[in-house]
Copies of this chain bind each other. A is one copy, B any other.
């Protein structure tokens, strides 16, 4: 619901989604359990009941499988920005759009399914920011997200990504804030929600990084 799947997906498409999710999740789970280097693609494929070759059809590396879930999520930020009211100032609009994808509906946080999902998400983020292999993949993918966001920003303020550096700069700064926030979140008191930290980071960016 929250992700707004408009079209009624056919069986084929649904299976693909499932396989993709299963592979991604299996990669995270096994890596956390046994350590990144101790897990082979073969292990993961077996865990998800597909062949090694099929894993490769979905992801070109273990790292990509880990990052995919997060990136799929973040790709919606640009759409969220486009959906913000047109008269909202840019800083607020961007901040809201980003926060929306980091702090899901507060109501659903207690359901068992939601709990499990959250746990996966956290583990995935930890892997992304910890394991060098995955780090690289993460940033590479984040670049794509930032390009999307930059385009949406350019649309909103009526300029062009190629000519004006501003949209890309805002997108990159936003991405930087998000990464730092995630990192800080993982390293510090885990009871503070990620949304609070991220919100603070974004506010500081838009305030011109005043020395505290």
Contact = CB atoms under 8 A, between A and B. Distances in A.
Given A136-B136, A140-B135, A177-B173, A166 B207 contact: no
A168 interface: yes
B208 A208 contact: yes
Identical copies in the complex: 2
Given A169-B180, A177-B173, A180-B172, A212 B143 contact: no
Secondary structure at the A interface, as helix, strand, loop or mixed, is: helix
A90 interface: yes
A140 B136 CA distance: 5
A211 interface: yes
A205 interface: yes
A109 interface: no
Contact of A177 (B89, B172, B208): B172
Interface string A83-97: 000000111000000
Interface string A188-203: 1000000001001100
